[in-house]
Amino acid sequence: MLDTIIGYTKTPVKISKNIFLLIISILKTLSSNYVPLLVVSCAIFYLFTFLSKRKLILSCSDCENGSWWYKCKKNTGFGTQTCATYTYISNISEDLYKLINNGPDKLLKVLLMLMIHSTNILKKSVQFFDETTKVLSLMMPPWLLFKYIVRPVSKALFSGLKNDKNT
């Protein structure tokens, strides 16, 4: 029973237990006399009845919506401009904290993904050129001979002859 009361009131455990022990000790003290015990029991009953009707109106802060025992004053708590501003500021500060805290990790992940992507592109391009060369060599072997042997040798030979001629 005490745990359910603590859960509903959202009060700290020590305070609730102390109040509960105070009420029990008062009831034990008054148990010899029935009239004071009846008065205290009625007062406790009236207190809980009053609180359960939510007639108590308090000023709420942030985005509170009240509780089972009190209502929020008008223009305070949930649904007001203050609540919207509070929510906006808390969301922005949480995003900023996450950006500062997790930013370097995300940057490293992005750089790693870019490196992996570029490596894959290079692998695919080399594979494409190899396959293209294989197909062309099967279709035209003289072209392959010209591309890899005749053209480089003739370029080197002609550039060497130009250098000899100029000197």
Q: Assess whether pLDDT exceeds 70 at residue 116.
A: yes
Q: Assess whether pLDDT exceeds 60 at residue 88.
A: yes
Question: Tokens 């692998």 identify what position?
Answer: 123
The tokens describing 72, both together, are: 């929020």
Q: Assess whether pLDDT exceeds 60 at residue 40.
A: yes
User: Tell me, what's the pLDDT at 121?
Assistant: 95
Q: Is the entire prediction scored with pTM above 0.75?
A: no
Query: For the chain, what are the domain ranges?
Result: 2-53, 105-166
What contacts 8, CB < 8 A, 6 or more positions away?
67, 68
Q: How far apart, in whole angstroms, are the C-alpha atoms of residue 152 and residue 133?
A: 17
**pLDDT above 90 coverage of the chain, percent:** 15
Question: Tokens 């809980």 identify what position?
Answer: 48
Instruction: Report pLDDT digits (tens) over 54-66.
Output: 777 777 777 777 7
Cα dihedral 70, 76, 82, 83 in deg (nearest 10) = 30
Q: Assess whether pLDDT exceeds 60 at residue 21.
A: yes
